Amino acid sequence: MTTKEFKWPLRVYIEDTDAGGIVFYINYLKYMERARTEMLRAVGFDKNAVFSEDLMFVVRAANVRYRRPARLDDEVIATARIVESRAAQLIFEQRILRGAEELCGGNVNIACVDKNTLKPKPISKTLLVALNAL
């Protein structure tokens, strides 16, 4: 499964930056999380819908490359695109852009688990069909 690139606009606030007004590195992962969450919401699977199926998504691995800094008050776009899916995993290719310039990019491997046992659980077919329709 490969989906279209989902885009979510963000603005850099002072809380995102260090004393020099540059986005602190971990906040790029937060921006990526927001894009994945909004992508699921856009296809009708907000957190409540996922939890109602006793599922939970957890980050299994992240590989991030930092290229250029974002700065206080920048308008950026966080993107998310599924490049691979397995029974209980989704692999996202994600980027943080300022205009056409890529500031940060990488892959995030998300595991689907049972929210009570935290053991792998297959992703619902309904969700996969909705994501394919993006």
Which residue range(s) make up the domain with 33? 6-132
The pLDDT of 11-36, averaged and rounded, is 97
* Least confident window among 101-105, 111-115, 129-133: 129-133
Instruction: Tell me 103's DSSP state.
Output: E
Q: Is residue 41 part of a domain?
A: yes
Q: Is residue 1 part of a domain?
A: no
pLDDT over 80 at 1, yes or no: no
Catalytic residues: 18
Q: Is residue 110 part of a domain?
A: yes
Rounded CA gap, 48 and 45, in Å? 8
pLDDT over 90 at 64, yes or no: yes
Q: How many domains does the chain have?
A: 1
Q: Is residue 38 part of a domain?
A: yes
Residue closest to 97 by CA, chosen among 38, 39, 28, 19: 28
pLDDT score at 127: 87
pLDDT over 70 at 50, yes or no: no
pLDDT over 70 at 27, yes or no: yes
Instruction: Tell me 42's DSSP state.
Output: H
